[in-house]
Amino acid sequence: MRAYQIMTGKLITVKADTAILEAAHLMLQRHISGLPVVDDTGRLIGIVSEGDFMRRGEIGTQGPRIRWLDFLMGAGKSALDFVREHGRKVGEIMTRDGLFTATEDMPLEELVRLMERRNVKRLPVVGGDTLVGIVTRSDLLRAVASLARDVPDPTADDDHIRSRVIASIEKNEWQPTQLGVTVRDGIVHLSGMITDERFRQATIVAAENVSGVKLVHDHLNLFDAMSGLSFRSPEDEGWAKAG
* 23 within domain boundaries: no
Residue 80, burial from CB neighbour count under 10 angstroms (0-12, 13-18, 19+): exposed
Sequence-separated (6 or more) residues with CB below 8 Å from residue 220 = 176, 190, 191, 192, 193, 194, 199, 200, 203, 233
* 188 within domain boundaries: yes
The whole-number average pLDDT for the span 19-45 is 87
* 106 within domain boundaries: no
**Is the pLDDT score of 200 beyond 90?**
yes
Distance CA 178, CA 54 (A): 23
Determine which helix (DSSP H) or strand (DSSP E) holds 123, and give its type and residue range. strand 122-127
* 139 within domain boundaries: no
Which residue did the predictor score with more confidence, 239 or 191? Answer: 191
* 27 within domain boundaries: no
Percent of the chain with pLDDT over 70: 77
The CATH number covering residue 208 comes to 3.30.1340.30
Its domain, for residue 209, covers 154-243
Confidence at residue 139, expressed as pLDDT on a 0 to 100 scale: 47
Number of compact structural domains in the chain: 1
* 98 within domain boundaries: no
* 238 within domain boundaries: yes
**Is the pLDDT score of 44 beyond 80?**
yes
Model-wide pTM > 0.75: no
Determine which helix (DSSP H) or strand (DSSP E) holds 87, and give its type and residue range. none
- Give residue-wise pLDDT tens across range 160-196: 999 999 999 999 999 998 888 988 889 999 988 999 9
